[in-house]
A and B are shown apart, each in its own frame.
Chain A
Amino acid sequence: MSPLRRFVLVAVAILVVLVSAVAIWFATTPGPLAFAGGKKVALDAFTGAEPTGVPNDLLQASVEKRGEYLTRAADCLVCHTAPGGKQYAGGFAFKLPFGTLYSTNITPDKETGIGAYSDADFLNAMHRGVRRDGALLYPAMPFTSYTYVTDEDALAIKAYLFSLPPVKATPPANTLVFPFNQRWAMGVWSSFFNEGTRFEPVADKSPEWNRGAYLAEALAHCGECHTPRNLAFALDNRKKFAGALSAGWYAYNITSDKGTGVGDWRDDELFAYLATGHAAGRGTASGPMGEAVDHSLSKLAESDVRAMVTYLRSVPAESSRDLPPRVAVAAPASHKEGGGSGNLRGKRIFAGACASCHDWSGVSPITELATLTGARAVNDPGASNVVQVVLTGMQRPPGLVSMPSFGSIYSDAEIADLANYVTSRFGSKGSTLSEKDVAKLRKETAQ
């Protein structure tokens, strides 16, 4: 054998081994409920309260009413509505590193919406990510989660959507670059990463746990933001709920890790945070989580939110190495003490624009919702969420106290200094953002 031939053979062999290893790694990616172990049974075989469907008081309601509840639980509204646009008419932009995707119109308009979808068409989209015309959907549509929704529940969602007024609206064309604009490739992706099965309860877990699992995994699709993604942009359930950055916001660790997750939160704190977007001393939900609370979680039955808490509690601890294991206590009352004192511009901006509501201590004299002490965002040395809130302000919960947006008032360099000051003063590890970092974060959330 010539040396060249030998070299090529070895190179090919190495390549084959590498590709197979990656394929096996991907193919063995655990499903979202793999962590729970136990014996999975068919829904019919599960003894105890039904984990799927709607809460008891809606059992006798019309299919549209049941569908409305489930549509909210699945939070279809937020992604399928453009800012300022008609509800469910699509056009919301997903900014990805390789281009922008726009959500579709899911009103019952026959031409531009889903009005012509049969039941089978709708289930195909929900469970398999296949459009009526056969084109494959990108996983910005969380069909790898919705695949666990029962046919009955999915069709109730369809019935609700079909009861809404049709809106004629075509979203802008996607701007994905090659090879990501090749929709057919999503078939290969789905064969690896879409389990394609309906929800199966775990027999030795309580009905409440199973209800929580169905809500969190099939409908609320928590993992789509809170679970990190692998190289192929699929959820890496080996680090389930361990937190991930997407579209400029950090969806924090919600595993039972005590230091960097929610392991040391009490049940009632988790409940309050999910149901209202706020728990005393734990901060206030903003950005995408704020939207999830306002449009979805706050509309759920109390029993359902409690079930989600029960489920969340069981997710194994996974520590986030980029987060400090402890959140800071309140900062000193005097501006002269505490962290960040060398950051004069950051301090000056804080004094003029922030201190009147957030106080030098971080404990707001106006409302508990504005208290920074204990919030994960200020205890994140990446400071992405602090920057986002400064840029866009906070207009939730609706009707209550709001924070103005400062994005058009301060330059990127000023906001970087401010974020560095805020995380140093109120968090346990300050950030070191640059002007460029803020510019990037600004771009990622612009619609």
Chain B
Amino acid sequence: MATLKINGESKVFEATEDTPLLWVLRDVLGLTGTKFGCGIAQCGACTVHVDGKPVRSCLLPVGGIGDRAITTIEGIGATPAGASVQKAWLDLEVIQCGYCQSGQIMAAAALLAATPHPDDADIDAAMAGNICRCGTYVRIRDAIKRAAAARAA
């Protein structure tokens, strides 16, 4: 039996130490908002936060997490940065097919929490690992700037 702190709650589950967190989230705990994309940390769809930092859950072994706090797309709206990102996403209708968007939102929320006023270079550095096949990149960039502005206001 293992325990992880996910979205503020203690979750108890059964999994071997080398199981990637994504498997536990989706298959064991039913938190299916986090998506499986490539499985090799190259697309960003599985991004969650570990102690506020964006991490690819498809490669993160649950045995190495310890008592660090995990936040998933289901819980990100409870954080100030996450709430403003979600609102900006809706305002600008960023999403097309949506598959990558939980990862995009998680990456954007982590960026804004660490860098409240990101410039284009900051957005590139933080978001380059999150791929969108629909090509919503322009709206993603606008929404990040809008969320930043809304938080500053």
Contact = CB atoms under 8 A, between A and B. Distances in A.
Given A356-B54, A366-B41, A400 B18 contact: yes
B53 A351 contact: no
B44 to A, nearest CB: 7
B125 A360 contact: yes
Contacts of A400: 18, 61
B129 A353 contact: yes
Interface string A347-376: 110011101110010000111100000000
A97 interface: no
Nearest to A348: B128
Best-surrounded residue of A336, A352, A366, A400 (most CB of chain B within 10 A): A366
Contact of A357 (B41, B61, B64, B125): B41
A436 B146 CA distance: 45
B125 A351 contact: yes
Nearest to B64: A367
Interface string B29-47: 0000000000011101001
Contacts of B41: 356-357, 366, 404
7 contacts: A336-B121, A336-B122, A355-B129, A356-B54, A400-B18, A402-B40, A404-B40
Contact of A366 (B60, B121, B122, B124): B60
B100 interface: no
A298 to B, nearest CB: 16
Interface of B: 18, 40-42, 44, 47, 50, 53-56, 59-61, 64, 121-122, 124-125, 128-129
Contacts of B61: 367, 400-401
State the 5 A-B residue pairs at the shortest beta-carbon distance, nearest first. A351-B128, A335-B125, A352-B128, A356-B129, A404-B40
Interface of A: 335-336, 347-348, 351-353, 355-357, 360, 365-368, 399-402, 404
Contact of B125 (A355, A365, A401): A355
Nearest to A400: B18
Question: From DSSP, what is the main secondary structure of chain A's interface residues?
Answer: loop
Contacts of A399: 18
A358 to B, nearest CB: 10
B122 to A, nearest CB: 7
B59 A351 contact: no
A426 to B, nearest CB: 16
A335 B127 CA distance: 12
A332 to B, nearest CB: 12
A355 B53 CA distance: 12
A139 to B, nearest CB: 39
Contacts of A352: 128-129
Given A336-B121, A367-B60, A401-B59, 11 more contacts: A336-B125, A353-B42, A356-B41, A356-B47, A356-B56, A366-B55, A366-B60, A400-B18, A401-B61, A404-B41, A404-B42
Contact of A335 (B44, B50, B55, B121): B121
Contacts of B59: 357, 366-367, 401
B99 to A, nearest CB: 17
B21 to A, nearest CB: 10
Contacts of A348: 124, 128
B126 to A, nearest CB: 8
Nearest to B50: A365
Contacts of B54: 356
Contacts of B53: 365
A400 B64 CA distance: 12
Nearest to B60: A366
A357 B56 contact: yes
Q: Which of A355, A356, A399 has the most CB of B within 10 A?
A: A356
A336 B115 CA distance: 12
B73 to A, nearest CB: 17
A402 B44 CA distance: 16
A368 B50 CA distance: 15
Nearest to B20: A401
A423 to B, nearest CB: 19
Q: Of residues B18, B41, B56, B124, which shows the largest number of chain A Cβ atoms within 10 Å of its Cβ? A: B41
B40 A351 contact: no
A91 B107 CA distance: 47
A336 B126 CA distance: 11
A121 B64 CA distance: 51
B136 to A, nearest CB: 16
A248 B124 CA distance: 33
A335 B122 contact: yes
Contacts of A365: 50, 53, 55, 60
A137 B86 CA distance: 68
Nearest to B21: A366
A281 to B, nearest CB: 16
A348 B6 CA distance: 32
Nearest to A402: B40
A356 B121 contact: no
A357 B18 CA distance: 16
A399 B20 CA distance: 11
Contacts of A335: 121-122, 125
Nearest to B68: A365
